[in-house]
Amino acid sequence: MSVVVENLYKFYGHQAAVNDVSFVVNRGEVVGFLGPNGAGKSTTMKILTCYIEQSKGSASICGIDTRTDSLAVRRKLGYLPEHNPLYKELYVREFLQICAKFYGISNIRNRINEVIEMTGLGLEQNKKIEQLSRGYRQRVGLSQAILHDPEVLILDEPTSGLDPNQIVEIRNLIKELGEAKTVIFSSHIMQEVEAICDRVLIIDRGKLVMDSPIGELSSKDNQEFVSVRVLFQSSVNADVLESIPGLVDKRKVKKGEWLIKGKKSSDEDFRQTVFQYCSGHGLVILEMNQLTTSMEQVFQELTGKSKQGNNK
């Protein structure tokens, strides 16, 4: 296992910024660490990368405890900190040379060439970091993180502050890197995690509230209920819909279009129930689809940001 976190706590005064967090990341996994601002993502990552020490609990990288051998841990991991701090007055190659010396890399020139190729920095390699766009600065940050070919990459909000094109480029780069490495990256954007990760960890107010493979994400609501959007040929009276068997809620979207929520049943698909009921009452259905729970809904539900009046 690449990363093991057990009952981890970090207190700032009375505040538990990280509150009894445990998880395991296997070799080769790409895991999204998702949570609203202030949830404890950066704090957890700083502990994993030996920047700060935990108050209680343990963390290890490739079997090495972060408290007992922080140098050995740092050889195993690459870290892109939040806000990507760089020496902007240095040239790209110069900066990477300094980082390579820190890591004691033997064939520095070759390795820097390789990394520049991997991160697509070829055209920018002889510029000063301050002359680069944010997207390219992010590539420099990723370059220093992978320079010593670490097994584990820890990336703290690697796409924040980038424009939409740069976001796509950096996401693709992370995906590529994830083919050979274990990656944990944080984000507060659900779609991003959905696009890149195998698995998601959701943290809220210091607590881990979800640890699930992307494909198996489902909200509590989704386990019990099912929602369908139905488009009728003409407008429908609300009273008629009232007696659909298993109905829990109904909401008119616009003329002839309704969101209908029912209890999940193992015997019958709710869409079939709705169809049979409607055809029995002379209501012509033009279109019907079941709504799937989005990551966003799950996230909102778990982090207490759920708003009234969504389509559940």
Ligand X SMILES: Nc1ncnc2c1ncn2[C@@H]1O[C@H](COP(=O)(O)OP(=O)(O)O)[C@@H](O)[C@H]1O
Q: Which residues bind ligand X (CB under 6 A)?
A: 12, 17, 35, 37-43
Size of the site for Mg ion (CB under 5 A): 3
Q: Which does 12 bind (CB under 5 to 8 A by kind): ligand X, Mg ion, none?
A: ligand X
Query: Which of ligand X, Mg ion, none has residue 39 at its interface (CB below 5 to 8 Å by kind)?
Result: ligand X
Complex with Mg ion: residue 124 or 156, whichever CB lies closer: 156
DSSP three-state, residue 307: coil
Our finding on whether 159 is near Mg ion (CB under 5 A) is no
What sign does the dihedral 208-80-174-294 (CA atoms) show? Answer: positive
Our CB check for ligand X shows the closer of 19 and 219 to be 19
d(CA 102, CA 80): 16
Least separation in angstroms between residue 280's CB and ligand X is 52
- Smallest gap from Cβ 8 to ligand X, in A, equals 12
Nearest to ligand X of 43, 159 (CB atom): 43
Residue with tokens 């959905």: 194
Q: Least CB distance from residue 200 to Mg ion, whole Å? A: 16
Alpha carbon distance, N-terminus to C-terminus of the chain: 38
Q: What is the DSSP letter of 309?
A: T
Among 42, 49, 54, 119, binds Mg ion (CB under 5 A): 42
Q: Which residue is nearest to Mg ion (CB)?
A: 42
Orientation of helix 164-178 relative to helix 134-146, angle to 10° = 10
What gap in Å lies between CA 183 and CA 192, rounded to an integer?
14
Q: In this complex, which beta carbon is closest to Mg ion, that of residue 41 or of residue 111?
A: 41
Q: How far is the CB of 19 from ligand X (least distance, A)?
A: 10
The answer to whether the CB of 219 falls within 8 A of the CB of 293 is yes
284, 276, 312: which is closest to 297 by C-alpha?
312
* Distance between CA atoms of residues 241 and 273, nearest Å: 12
Q: What is the b/e burial string over 96-114, where b = at least 16 CB atoms within 10 angstroms of the residue's CB?
A: bbebbeebebeebeebbee
Length of the chain in terms of residues written:
312
Which residue, 75 or 205, has its beta carbon nearer to ligand X?
A: 205
> Considering the complex, what minimum distance in angstroms separates the CB of residue 156 from Mg ion?
6
Q: Which region, judged by CB under 5 A, interacts with Mg ion, from 35-43, 111-119, 134-142, 177-185?
A: 35-43
Binders of Mg ion among residues 68 to 87 (CB under 5 A) are 82
Q: Which residues bind Mg ion (CB under 5 A)?
A: 41-42, 82
